[in-house]
Amino acid sequence: MINMAACGVTKFNESTQPLVLVSDDNHDSVSRKQKRTISNRESARKSRIRKKKHMEDLVGQVSQLVSENKCMAINLKDTTQMFVKMESDNLVLKAQLAELTHEFESLNEISNGFNLVMSDVDYENKAWCAW
């Protein structure tokens, strides 16, 4: 008896549709297709695992960035408060400087006037002594 499957012979059934007998070539083709399917499924599984890990990493980064953002907001608030206080202190110091500068100038004018009077008195004393 002839092995029709090994020869790749096709038979027709009653409905005139070809009935393909599986030959070694066809078996190899089916086996390759199954291997491809298995390989594709494995690739898809690995891809899902990578995607899941990537999402977990992104969620971790978001959490870390939110935490850093809160710290930065607190630092900004503290720095702003310090700036406002220093600005206020600076205005007070400028006002004190202006007041002290004015007082110094007034005292300097008085001193200059006093020195002028004293030099006149000294001149008159010398004039009296010369006679």
| Residues across the chain | 131
CA 98 to mean position of chain CA atoms: 45
The answer to whether residues 6 and 23 touch, using CB atoms and an 8 Å cutoff, is yes
Which of residues 112 and 57 earns the better pLDDT score? 57
Non-local (6+) Cβ contacts of 30 within 8 A are: 22
pTM for the model: 0.50
Side-chain half-sphere of 70: how many Cα atoms within 13 Å?
5
Largest CA distance in the chain: 169
Q: What are the tens digits of pLDDT across the range 38-58? A: 999 999 999 999 999 999 999
- Count of Cβ atoms closer than 10 Å to residue 48 Cβ: 10
- The domain spans of the chain are 4-120
